[in-house]
Chain A
Amino acid sequence: MSEVRVTKEENCSGCRLCALACSFFISPERAFSLSKSQIRVARTDGENRFKVGLLEDCLGCGICVDYCHYGVLSKE
């Protein structure tokens, strides 16, 4: 099974496209939600700098990789 990796976290712009795409394409509700996605983008140090992490139930489908336009994520 393929796996999504956070390869260049420092590139993250905080756009949340990854998380919103995940919730829409993968969740059974087919709805947009930050909290129902398998990828989390969290602000760090009170700045517009971000940590990105995959949750355990990530399917490895790579939809977030397709929607990240900043080269943060990759699929292996």
Chain B
Amino acid sequence: MEKAGGFAGSILYVDLSQRSVTKEPLSQELMGDFLGGAGINTKLAYDLIKPADDSLSPGNVLLIGAGPFVGTIIPGAGRCSATAKSPASGLFGSNTTGYFGTLKFAGYDHLVTKGKADRPVYLKIRDNEVEIRDASHIWGKDTWEATDAIWEELGQEYEVLSIGPAGENLVRSANIIGGKYSAFARTGLGAVMGSKNLKAIAVYGTGSIEVADVEAFTQLLDRLYKEFTAQAGLDGWRTYGTLISLEAMAKAGLYPHKNFQETGEADRCIEAFNLDNFAKLKVGDVACMSCPIGCKHFVELKEGKYAGLKLTVSCANAPTQSWGGPCAIEGWEEIFRCVELCNRLGLDYYDTAGLIAWAIELYKRRIIDNKDTQGLELDWGKADAIEELIQKIAHKDGFGEILAQGLIEAPKRIGRNSAYYLSQVKGIGLVFDPRVRHSVEVVSQSFNVRGAHDSALSVTMLPRTREKMIKFAERIGFPPRDAWDRVLAGPEGFNAARLSKWYEDNVTVLDSLGVCQFAPFQRPNIALWAELYSALTGIKKDATELLKTGERAWNIRRAFNLREGAARKDDTFPERTMREPVKFGDKEYSPFTQEHLTELIDDYYQERGWNSDGTISQEKLDELGLRL
């Protein structure tokens, strides 16, 4: 068979220790079994990263992959995936972002970086020309300064991924920032770049992405666009982005407040993150490559304390869920200041805000005092102190050095039973409170094998009925009818644990193809994605096979984690959420019980075909054709 459509056809391997660069063909087997993007990253990570290799050692491997849809005009097909052993959890770490897709036009589907440079470097990739360049002049600079400097050197047509001081200093919640805004946010991947002395990666390409069956592809594209653009609510998605569901989420109690001690009052959330005020500060829409929605925002503060600040805000709900809720900051000005700091310094909002919210609570409870914080007076919503602490974390300065150790080590450093107050699972900060709503997104935080929270975006965040769930399953094409009795069961028409399996597989498919996983992209039937994949690549797959590839990747992630020593006992929720109730207005939600957790994990493992100890059954491995 000639080269598959959709794919650039090559993997670029860079060994920073050897200063060597090699280009290898992407095998048919990888394309067929893992689709591309996140899926192929997963398989390569499993094969290349050894259990003995610490996440910050030269042995860790950073994989960046763009799936076969990336570079085409399939709506939302601009998402790239980054993978490595996570410095935050020590387990599989992975993330997607809507930037860096031009890697495909340079001729590569994947960039695999290993080893460690003997001094700061950055990578320049322009088609076949790949250079490991000196970065001593930008080391120490923040991501905006570093990106500007590279644009100045190479031209603004380059897409630039960069780390900030946080990544350089191996902060466990460091991220990678693309084009000054677009983050591979979670699981600490910025520290992996830092540990390799790799400050940035710049790419530009003049190549093309071919289509296997032009006629079929064009027809399918037409069908998809008609269906896609007919959806209600796309204008709202553009104006408010992920804030589109702010009001509904606030009313459902989905914003944890003051370090998960309570749930944010609906009115407070709606007022503190007022949507009209947000719209007033927004100057323009920003989109990932090939996205007709454009849910990102170019924002300009024209007056006040930060007058003159211009920045692109990617997921606008994320800073409200982190700085706004757990740290209790109010108003867009200070929220945007936190966004600016995190984007410049290269820090994940959720884990960084989670650590700071925890420190504030410890301070309020007098578990730590201003000797620990070296004079910093911490309090809820006290933006100046919080912003100072963000900078201290990035620079590992004073008290910030302790928080920079991440959500597993920092409580050990502080001791004094402080771990009880930290909302984390396997070193990754919690986003949703498991006591409040048992949706797929929420419960999957306990057993997620990928790191980070958005592995199973579903429709269950807000109350549903069985009728609606069935209608939706019919529309999107999964779970299959023979699974409905067990998966679409329960008072709201879903079993969150079992349904997680199906959404995780689907999200993995989208991450592998390179399509956005937000709601408008989850509505087309999976069979349509399969048809598009087949027409584009020439590799025939139906809906069932497509979901199987997602499942295959998910199982390899589990195997990766098991190999690192993870076990059933790690699939849990923070102790506090299992002991204390939480208040939401005049309601009180009980602690998440051990019985419920046991039931949930049992159901989930069963749905996955795993053994009750969390290992993967031989039958499942055989079914997926995996020999691990």
Q: Do A and B come from one complex?
A: yes
Which residues of A are in contact with B by a Cβ distance under 8 Å?
10-11, 13-17, 20-21, 23-24, 29-36, 42-44, 46-49, 67, 69-70
A21–B292 Cα gap in the complex (Å)?
12
4 cross-chain pairs, A with B, having the tightest CB-CB distances, nearest first: A31-B208, A13-B287, A15-B287, A69-B292
B176 to chain A, nearest CB (A): 17
A30–B102 Cα gap in the complex (Å)?
18
Query: With A31-B209, A33-B208, A47-B310 known to touch, is A20 a contact of B285 (CB < 8 Å)?
Result: no
Query: With A46-B156, A47-B298, A48-B181 known to touch, is A14 a contact of B287 (CB < 8 Å)?
Result: yes
Query: Chain B: which residue is nearest A20 at the CB level?
Result: B73
A48–B73 Cα gap in the complex (Å)?
20
Q: A13-B287, A15-B290, A48-B298 are in contact. List 5 more A-B contacts (CB 8 A).
A: A15-B78, A17-B73, A32-B211, A48-B284, A48-B312
State whether B284 touches A49 (Cβ < 8 A): yes
Question: A20's contact among B214, B284, B290, B294, by CB below 8 Å, is which?
Answer: B290
- B72 at the A interface (CB under 8 A): yes
- Report B39-79 residues with CB < 8 Å from chain A CB: 71-73, 78
Query: With A20-B290, A33-B105 known to touch, is A13 a contact of B284 (CB < 8 Å)?
Result: yes
Which residues of B are in contact with A by a Cβ distance under 8 Å?
71-73, 78, 102, 105, 147-148, 151, 156-157, 179-181, 205-211, 214, 229, 284-294, 296, 298, 310, 312
State whether B310 touches A34 (Cβ < 8 A): no
Query: Chain A: which residue is nearest B298 at the CB level?
Result: A48
State whether A17 touches B156 (Cβ < 8 A): no
State whether B292 touches A48 (Cβ < 8 A): no
State whether B181 touches A16 (Cβ < 8 A): no
Query: With A33-B105, A34-B105, A48-B312 known to touch, is A15 a contact of B156 (CB < 8 Å)?
Result: no
Query: Chain A: which residue is nearest B5 at the CB level?
Result: A31
Query: With A20-B73, A31-B209, A47-B298 known to touch, is A15 a contact of B284 (CB < 8 Å)?
Result: no
A33–B296 Cα gap in the complex (Å)?
24
A30–B310 Cα gap in the complex (Å)?
39
Question: A32's contact among B73, B286, B287, B293, by CB below 8 Å, is which?
Answer: B73
Q: Which residues of A sit under 8 angstroms from B71, Cβ to Cβ? A: 20, 32
B77 to chain A, nearest CB (A): 10
Q: Which residues of B sit under 8 angstroms from A16, Cβ to Cβ? A: 289-290
Q: Which residues of B sit under 8 angstroms from A24, Cβ to Cβ? A: 72-73, 211
State whether A48 touches B156 (Cβ < 8 A): no
Query: With A20-B72, A47-B298 known to touch, is A31 a contact of B286 (CB < 8 Å)?
Result: no
Q: Which residues of B sit under 8 angstroms from A14, Cβ to Cβ? A: 286-287
Query: Chain B: which residue is nearest A23 at the CB level?
Result: B208
A43–B208 Cα gap in the complex (Å)?
21
Query: With A15-B290, A15-B291, A35-B206 known to touch, is A49 a contact of B298 (CB < 8 Å)?
Result: yes
Interface centre among B73, B211, B296 (most CB of A within 10 A): B73
Query: Chain B: which residue is nearest A31 at the CB level?
Result: B208
Q: Which residues of A sit under 8 angstroms from B290, Cβ to Cβ? A: 15-17, 20
A20–B151 Cα gap in the complex (Å)?
23
A48–B295 Cα gap in the complex (Å)?
13
A48 to chain B, nearest CB (A): 5
Interface centre among A14, A32, A43 (most CB of B within 10 A): A32
Q: Which residues of A sit under 8 angstroms from B284, Cβ to Cβ? A: 10-11, 13, 48-49
A32–B102 Cα gap in the complex (Å)?
11
Can you list 15 pairs linking A and B with CB atoms under 8 Å apart?
A13-B294, A13-B296, A15-B290, A16-B290, A23-B208, A24-B211, A31-B208, A31-B210, A32-B209, A33-B105, A34-B105, A36-B208, A46-B148, A47-B298, A67-B73
Query: With A11-B285, A15-B288, A69-B292 known to touch, is A43 a contact of B207 (CB < 8 Å)?
Result: no
A13 to chain B, nearest CB (A): 4
State whether B105 touches A29 (Cβ < 8 A): no
A33–B104 Cα gap in the complex (Å)?
10
Query: With A43-B156, A43-B157, A46-B148 known to touch, is A29 a contact of B208 (CB < 8 Å)?
Result: yes
Q: Which residues of B sit under 8 angstroms from A21, Cβ to Cβ? A: 73
Query: Chain A: which residue is nearest B105 at the CB level?
Result: A34
A35–B290 Cα gap in the complex (Å)?
15
State whether A48 touches B179 (Cβ < 8 A): yes
B513 to chain A, nearest CB (A): 15
State whether B285 touches A29 (Cβ < 8 A): no
Query: With A17-B73, A20-B72, A48-B179 known to touch, is A30 a contact of B286 (CB < 8 Å)?
Result: no
A32–B157 Cα gap in the complex (Å)?
17
State whether A70 touches B285 (Cβ < 8 A): yes
B428 to chain A, nearest CB (A): 28
A14–B413 Cα gap in the complex (Å)?
45
State whether B156 touches A31 (Cβ < 8 A): no
Q: Which residues of B sit under 8 angstroms from A67, Cβ to Cβ? A: 73
A31–B247 Cα gap in the complex (Å)?
43
A12 to chain B, nearest CB (A): 8
B287 to chain A, nearest CB (A): 4
Q: Which residues of B sit under 8 angstroms from A23, Cβ to Cβ? A: 208
Q: Which residues of A sit under 8 angstroms from B287, Cβ to Cβ? A: 13-15, 70
Query: With A11-B284, A13-B287, A15-B287 known to touch, is A29 a contact of B210 (CB < 8 Å)?
Result: yes
A14–B290 Cα gap in the complex (Å)?
9
Query: Chain A: which residue is nearest B293 at the CB level?
Result: A69
Q: Which residues of B sit under 8 angstroms from A47, Cβ to Cβ? A: 180, 298, 310, 312
State whether B73 touches A34 (Cβ < 8 A): no
Query: With A15-B292, A16-B289, A47-B298 known to touch, is A30 a contact of B73 (CB < 8 Å)?
Result: no
A46–B156 Cα gap in the complex (Å)?
7
A70–B102 Cα gap in the complex (Å)?
21
Question: B105's contact among A11, A13, A35, by CB below 8 Å, is which?
Answer: A35
Query: Chain B: which residue is nearest A45 at the CB level?
Result: B156
B503 to chain A, nearest CB (A): 26
A16 to chain B, nearest CB (A): 5
Interface centre among A15, A34, A47, A49 (most CB of B within 10 A): A15
Query: Chain B: which residue is nearest A69 at the CB level?
Result: B292
State whether A32 touches B156 (Cβ < 8 A): no
Query: With A20-B72, A21-B73, A49-B284 known to touch, is A15 a contact of B289 (CB < 8 Å)?
Result: yes
State whether A42 touches B156 (Cβ < 8 A): yes
